[in-house]
Amino acid sequence: MQRSAIRDPCIIAIVKVKDYIRTNMSKSGEHSKLIADAAKAALSPIGCTRVGRSRTWISDQGFWLVVIEFQPSSWSKGSYLNVGAMWLWKLRKGLGFHHGYRVGDFVPFMDETQFRPLIEILAAQAAARTMELRDQFSSIEAVSHYLTTATTNLTPWSPYHAALAAGLAGDYTTAHRHFEQFALSDWQDSPWLEAKARAEQLDGLLATPSAFRTALIAQIVECRTINNLQPASGTLEALLARDVT
């Protein structure tokens, strides 16, 4: 007499696991698509682009980016929202945040009906924050003023960013002061030492503004290249052509 496979506890357990995985993979795909659709609807019309098939979008401002990340949770389905500025004169592989970060609260995923309107609101918040950052940092002078006068959320890298922004804005005295402050750091890790060496070279070029700009813009282009960004459309050329007398 043939034994019915469905009564085998091991097979029953395997079937249940497969059903669970299949169901959760389906929910995961649905959840990811809802995020992608909401982000596209809110961010594409204001000129943002998606990074591959990831949950990260960017607004390319030439020498800096707005980085928009619909960050997953390690514990449950849903999304956080992070929006901030990344200065492209700091050489690094991978996107990150130099100014700004978390926006709003975590939006959990239960089902499509519950999640869709909430993720659409989160995407709208992403678009609004992107526009705010574009307005706040609409020129190199605005970026320089913010970075050279900031008194909160400072890091050991703050003098570096302030020096480079001030130099591009034509405020060479302020740039030199921040370069000197950055040089006082005693960190010894490789990225830090490389940045200090670059900063020393750029500080030495401040007496020749056109040489400083050429060197710094080459550094921005290098950062853009290693992060697979499209060539900047006119922004960097405009910085290079500025009156430096």
Residue pLDDT, tens place only, 219-229 = 999 999 999 99
Q: 168 and 182: one domain? A: yes
Over its C-alpha atoms, the chain yields an Rg (Å, rounded) of 24
Higher pLDDT, 10 or 106: 106
Among 133, 31, 10, smallest CA distance to 83 is for: 133
Cβ atoms < 10 Å from Cβ of 56: 15
Domain that includes residue 118, residue range: 7-136
What is the C-alpha to C-alpha distance for residues 81 and 157, in angstroms, rounded to an integer? Answer: 24
pLDDT at 86 over 60: yes
C-alpha triplet 224, 229, 231: angle, nearest 5°: 85
Q: 120 and 230: one domain? A: no
Last residue of a domain, one of 81, 116, 136: 136
Q: 26 and 104: one domain? A: yes
Q: 164 and 88: one domain? A: no
Last residue of a domain, one of 103, 136, 169: 136
Looking at residues 131-159, what average pLDDT do you find?
A: 95
> What pTM did the predictor assign?
0.85
In contact, 39 and 107? CB cutoff 8 Å:
no
Last residue of a domain, one of 136, 171, 204: 136
pLDDT at 14 over 80: no
Digit-coded pLDDT (tens) for 43-80: 999 999 999 999 999 999 999 999 999 999 888 899 99
Q: 173 and 195: one domain? A: yes
- What is the total count of domains within the chain? 2
Q: 122 and 227: one domain? A: no
Q: Note the pLDDT of residue 3.
A: 46
Q: 91 and 24: one domain? A: yes
